Amino acid sequence: MSHSHSHSVEHDASHGTVKSYLVGFLLSVILTAIPFYLVMEGDFSKVTTLWSIVTLAIVQIWVHLKYFLHLSFTTEEGRASTFSFLFSALIIVMVVGLSVWIIYESNAMMMY
């Protein structure tokens, strides 16, 4: 009986609290609203707006990984999960990127 209880406590500890989910949600909303505002107002140059959007998108990716996917380097399990995620992301980027490159090159060769 105590084994199932300890498993429940460990399972709950690996997930975030309501507060952490709310913080993540609020950060996500803010990090979405800022680029939207920058584009709608049009006060900055296109390059500044683009770099702002890219920077805020990277920050938002980090927020999602930390607050919703609970990836961290603080525990052994967290490091393993993080490395598994990063490896999977690398493979997906390579497959998609190389596929686009092959399709583009094939299209370019068909034009001659």
Sign of CA dihedral 85, 11, 68, 70: negative
The amino acid at 108: A
Structural domain boundaries in the chain: 1-70, 74-112
Q: How far is CA 73 from CA 15, 77, 98, 112, in A?
A: 15, 8, 30, 51
Q: What mean pLDDT comes out for the span 81-102?
A: 94
Q: Which residues, other chains included, contact 23 with Cβ-Cβ below 8 Å and sequence gap of 6+? A: 67
The whole-number pLDDT of residue 14 equals 60
For residues 62 and 46, is the Cβ–Cβ distance under 8 A? no
pLDDT digits (tens, 9 = 90+) for 36-74: 999 999 999 999 999 999 999 999 999 998 999 888 878
pLDDT single digits (tens) 1-23 = 445 554 544 455 567 789 999 99
More confident residue, 24 or 12: 24
